[in-house]
Amino acid sequence: MKRPLRALAAAGLLAAGAIVAVALGGTASADTQICEQYGSTTIGGKYVVQNNRWGTSAQQCINVTSTGFSITRQDGVGSTSGAPVSYPSIFVGCHYTNCSPGTNLPVQVKNISSAPASISYNYVSGAIYDAAYDIWLDPSPKKDGVNQMEIMIWLNRQGPIQPIGSPVGNASIAGRTWEVWRGSNGSNNVISYVAPSAIPSMSFDAMAFINDTKNRGAITSDWYLTSIQAGFEPWQGGVGLAVNSFSQSVNTGGTTPPPATTPPPGNAACSVKYTTNVWNNGFTADVTVTNTGSSTVNGWTLNYNLPSGQTITGSWNATVTQSGSAVTARNLSYNGTLAPGASTSFGYQATLSGGFSTPSSFSLNGSTCTKV
């Protein structure tokens, strides 16, 4: 969770070390220091660098260069079972009314053709932190306040910390495998993509992560991309952590995504295992689909009906839609092929009114499945 940038006092000298504190709206030259709690400045005529010390009253300072920043002081100490103490970062777009120069954000996802990104980090030892690339989205073109969806790309994780929520599977994006976590911090929903080992630099299209989040049913193409940020969430220590360079563009005028491919009917012998965790007014379901036939399934659609009083609110590892009681679950780009004997799983969360029961039958590509 990141707290708002605020209107700050004019720049001045701090008693300790005579460090220059840059207020909102400033422009940085090389080696500009920011120690103000929510201080920020612009670089390259395109990006905003922000201190954003939201989780502690202890001092934090960053050194802003012409291409990025480094943490020069970090006195805060956060519990590893709780939130980090800050999120010093560099960004494009709008964050709590602070918009980067000349930005074309917010812009609807359906109008974005690509979002080429490049990041280079400097890591240190002996600290507890994550290096996070943050993507913020909202149903409205929001320039102030909390957005409803946060995508976090963890390129490095040091210490006994974990993303918000719980793991829901893996994803292959930008030529790498990521562990996917999903949850909410109480203010916004979060999907995190966690690298299994530290990535010091990376060039990729941020739309690959946005599209995966969309395929999980967390957003739609009508939502707005509001900002993209790169920085660090320190819990303890972190002096020397740096964003050496950051490049992010958002190209518009893209094409409308093609319609979903309808798999061929029939020829799909299958079994379905339906596992649930139920509480008084809701439940989660884990659905495992197995190809029990002798031919490979290339693209699958699972159909079934939910009992009365059950309404799906979110899903993962499949595109799941509900119309009345009828549910349709379609594969994503990475799990559409099922060789004979192979399985894939997806899941969802739902609200519950009344007594609980499970679906009575399932069909895969038009063929009835065995319920196990």
- DSSP class per residue in 269-298: -EEEEEEEEEETTEEEEEEEEEE-SSS-EE
Structure tokens at 67: 């291409």
CB-based contact 93:103 (threshold 8 Å): yes
User: Max Cα separation, the chain?
Assistant: 76
Helix (H, G, I), strand (E, B) or coil at 336: coil
36 included as an active-site residue: no
| Annotated active-site residue in 36, 130, 134, 150 | 150
Phi, psi torsion values for 330, nearest 5 degrees: -115, 150
CB-based contact 331:367 (threshold 8 Å): no
| Annotated active-site residue in 68, 142, 233, 242 | 233
- Which amino acid, one-letter code, is at 175? G
Give dist(CA 50, CA 95) in Å, integer.
10
Phi, psi torsion values for 261, nearest 5 degrees: -80, 130
Active site residues: 150, 233
